[in-house]
Structure 1
Amino acid sequence: MEFLAEYGIFLLKALTIVVSIVLVIAGVAAVSGKQKPNHDGFITVNKVNDDLDDYKEILEENLYDKDELKELEKARDKEDKEKVKAEKAKAKADKKAGKGAGEDDVDTVEVIKKRVFVLDFDGDIKASAADFMREEITAILTMARKEDEVVVRLESGGGMVHSYGLASSQLQRIKDKGIPLTVCIDKVAASGGYMMACIADKIVSAPFAIVGSIGVVAQLPNFSRLLKKHDVDFEMFTAGEYKRTVTMFGHNSAKAKDKFREDLEETHVLFKNHVTRFRPGLNIEEVATGDTWYGQDALENKLVDQLGTSDDYLVAACNDADVFEVSYEFKKSLQEKLGFAVQMGVEKAATRFLTIMNAQTHTKG
Structure 2
Amino acid sequence: MEFLFVYGLFLAKAITIVVAIVVVVGFIVGMASKQKQTSGNLEFESLSEHFDDIKNQAQHVLLSKDELKKLEKEEKKKEKEKKKSSKDEAKKKNLFVLNFNGSMNAQEVEQLREEITAVLCVATKDDEVLVNVESGGGVVHGYGLAASQLQRIKDKQIKLTVSVDKVAASGGYMMACVADHVISAPFAIIGSIGVIAQLPNFNKVLKKNDIEFEQHTAGDFKRTLTMFGENTAEGRAKFKEEIEDVHLMFKDFVKQHRSELDIDKVATGEYWYGQRAKDLNLVDELKTSDDFLMEANNTHKLYAIKYAAKKTLAQKLGFSAYKALEQTFMRLVDAGNKLYR
Q: What TM-score does the superposition give when structure 2 sets the normalisation length? A: 0.86
Deviation at 1:201, TM superposition (A): 0.9
Q: Is the 8 A contact 2:35 2:312 kept in 1?
A: no
Moved more, 240-249 or 258-267: 240-249
Structure-2 residue corresponding to 1:238: 217
Q: Indicate yes or no: 2:308 matched with 1:298.
A: no
Structure-2 change in CA distance of 1:342 and 1:178 (3 Å): farther
Deviation at 1:283, TM superposition (A): 1.7
Give the aligned residue type for 1:126: N
Structure-1 residue corresponding to 2:145: 166
Give the aligned residue type for 1:60: Q
Q: Indicate yes or no: 2:24 matched with 1:21.
A: no
Q: Is the 8 A contact 2:191 2:271 kept in 1?
A: yes
Structure-2 residue corresponding to 1:326: 305
RMSD value, Cα: 2.7
- In 2: Cα distance, 1:270 partner to 1:84 partner: 55
Structure-2 change in CA distance of 1:339 and 1:293 (3 Å): same
- In 2: Cα distance, 1:79 partner to 1:297 partner: 45
Give the aligned residue type for 2:216: F
Corresponding residue SS for 2:307: strand
Give the aligned residue type for 2:302: V
Identity %: 50
For 1:157, which of 121, 136, 140 is the aligned residue? Answer: 136
- In 2: Cα distance, 1:149 partner to 1:288 partner: 30
Q: Is the 8 A contact 1:26 1:335 kept in 2?
A: no
- In 2: Cα distance, 1:294 partner to 1:123 partner: 19
Corresponding residue SS for 1:142: helix
Deviation at 1:37, TM superposition (A): 2.3
Partner deviation per Cα, 1:125-149 (whole Å, 9 max, x = no partner): 1112212111111222221111111
Structure-2 change in CA distance of 1:39 and 1:176 (3 Å): farther
Give the gaps of 5 or more residues in structure 2.
323-341
Deviation at 1:81, TM superposition (A): 6.9
Structure-2 change in CA distance of 1:55 and 1:20 (3 Å): same
Q: Is the 8 A contact 1:87 1:111 kept in 2?
A: yes
Give the aligned residue type for 1:266: D
- In 2: Cα distance, 1:85 partner to 1:285 partner: 58
Partner deviation per Cα, 1:190-247 (whole Å, 9 max, x = no partner): 0000011111111001111111111111112222223222322222211111110011
Q: Is the 8 A contact 1:126 1:160 kept in 2?
A: yes
Give the aligned residue type for 2:208: K
Structure-2 change in CA distance of 1:5 and 1:231 (3 Å): closer
Structure-1 residue corresponding to 2:126: 147
Structure-2 change in CA distance of 1:196 and 1:85 (3 Å): farther
Give the aligned residue type for 1:56: K
Deviation at 1:173, TM superposition (A): 1.6
For 1:283, which of 239, 262, 279 is the aligned residue? Answer: 262
Deviation at 1:322, TM superposition (A): 0.9
- In 1: Cα distance, 2:227 partner to 2:13 partner: 44
- In 2: Cα distance, 1:32 partner to 1:124 partner: 28
Moved more, 236-245 or 13-22: 13-22
Q: Is the 8 A contact 1:145 1:179 kept in 2?
A: yes
Q: Is the 8 A contact 1:30 1:340 kept in 2?
A: no
- In 2: Cα distance, 1:149 partner to 1:81 partner: 29
Structure-2 change in CA distance of 1:77 and 1:300 (3 Å): farther
Partner deviation per Cα, 1:234-282 (whole Å, 9 max, x = no partner): 2221111111001122221111100000000110111111111211221
For 1:134, which of 113, 118, 124 is the aligned residue? Answer: 113
Alignment of 1:27-46 (within 5 A): 27-46=26-45
Structure-2 residue corresponding to 1:177: 156
Corresponding residue SS for 2:54: helix
Moved more, 142-151 or 37-46: 37-46
- In 2: Cα distance, 1:180 partner to 1:220 partner: 41
- In 1: Cα distance, 2:321 partner to 2:216 partner: 34
Deviation at 1:23, TM superposition (A): 2.4
Partner deviation per Cα, 1:274-326 (whole Å, 9 max, x = no partner): 11121122121221111111111111211111110000101111111111111
Alignment of 1:317-356 (within 5 A): 317-339=296-318
Moved more, 148-157 or 168-177: 168-177
Give the gaps of 5 or more residues in structure 1.
92-109, 344-365
Q: Indicate yes or no: 2:46 matched with 1:67.
A: no
- In 1: Cα distance, 2:300 partner to 2:263 partner: 35
Structure-2 change in CA distance of 1:224 and 1:7 (3 Å): closer
- In 1: Cα distance, 2:280 partner to 2:86 partner: 38
Give the aligned residue type for 1:275: V
Give the aligned residue type for 1:50: E
Q: Is the 8 A contact 2:21 2:321 kept in 1?
A: no
Give the aligned residue type for 1:21: A
Structure-1 residue corresponding to 2:339: none
Q: Is the 8 A contact 2:129 2:161 kept in 1?
A: yes
Structure-2 residue corresponding to 1:58: 57
